[in-house]
Amino acid sequence: MSLRTLLTRVAITTAAGALITSVAVAPALADDDWDGGGGDSSAGSAGSDQHDGWDQGGDQGGDQHHSQGVVTAGELLLRSAPNRGSQVIRVVHRGQRVSIFCKTPGQSVQGNNLWYLLTDGTWAWGSARYIETIGTPPRWC
């Protein structure tokens, strides 16, 4: 193995570790008092209307910590990290409202590289491509 390959692997491992740490720590810092409609935790069938996703969110009412969004995909797969290769945590459906804690860049989904950390019962990432924000956009993670 060349030195360049070794350094590349170390850099990737370090970046992945930092991302995992930030995801693990963020939920502990969040305020889970938002009383929104949680997502359906059962997995749906794969189909042409099923998408990975994050979206932009909006602030509603007096909750200054969370923005809100509405799912626009038939089924939106919410994941353990802001990319399509990570584990599916749960599924939400078209029209469901979601609480958005923050946004971060991640894997591009149909030209949109923003992902949102959602806080509805479980902490999971969704592509902003399939979430329409309501009100003020979410803060950066």
Residue pLDDT, tens place only, 37-76: 333 333 333 333 444 443 333 333 334 568 999 999 999 9
**CA separation, residue 123 to residues 1, 8, 19, 48, 89 (Å):** 38, 30, 14, 25, 8
How much is the pLDDT for 73?
Answer: 97
pTM score of the predicted model: 0.57
124: left (phi over 0), alpha (psi -120 to 50) or beta: beta
Q: Are 128 and 118 in contact (CB under 8 A)?
A: no
pLDDT tens-place string over residues 88-138: 999 999 999 999 999 999 999 999 999 999 998 889 999 999 999 998 899
Using an 8 Å Cβ cutoff, are 94 and 47 in contact? Answer: no
Query: Side chain identity at 137, as an amino acid letter?
Result: P
Domains of the chain: 1-141 (2.30.30.40)
At residue 140, the 3 state secondary structure works out as strand
DSSP string, 30-61: S-------PPP-SPPPP-TTEEE--B--EE-T
Q: Tell which residue, 66, 87, 69, 81, has the closest CA to residue 129.
A: 69
